[in-house]
Amino acid sequence: MSDLRADPCPDARLDALVAAVAAGADVAEVDALLAAYPGDARLHFLRGSLLAGGRRYPEARAAVSRAVALAPGFDIARFQLGFLEFTSGEPELARRTWRPLQDLEEAHPLSLFARGLLRLVDEDVTGAIALLRRGMAANTVNPPLNQDMATLLAGLEPAAAAAEPVSETELLLRQFGGTVRH
């Protein structure tokens, strides 16, 4: 007899949960499925996404980190974990998390986004903007991610136009409500 806890969540149940989340379900509903399928990286990622949306960043990082630990090739989870690290003021940790994304095609949106954000660490705002724009153009499957990058670009572009020397931390502070540390 197989251990149900080792099995992934059936796609139909996951799809129903995603629909419920879109309609306003909360973390408790994800937790209920996680109790039955604790090894499903997709559920951990969904939980982390909900927690991040609720500004519960330390918990979100833990959940998304678990998703990446369970499925190292789960590229969107890896990107989001790095993004949480980056916006928490830990760009070198994000750089390590994003390193495997560099193995994707050069024009892959997640690779472009990660490389663009890391350009901010090097204070290359113009290069960051170019890579983030390329990533948005290449990203045809995840519109919410493009919205996040557009929000970030809205803060970067005025600084680049003014040739204003601004650190990546200050830019992120402006963009994400005044606080970077989660």
Statement: residue 182 has pLDDT above 60: no
Lowest-confidence range among 19-33, 85-99, 101-115, 133-147? 19-33
Q: Which amino acid is at 9?
A: C
- Within 13 Å and on the Cβ side, how many CA atoms surround 154? 10
Positive or negative, the CA dihedral 63, 65, 69, 70 is: positive
Lowest-confidence range among 46-60, 139-153, 158-172? 158-172
What's the pLDDT band for 166 if we cut at 50, 70, 90? low
Statement: residue 164 has pLDDT above 60: no
**In the chain, which ranges are E strands?**
none
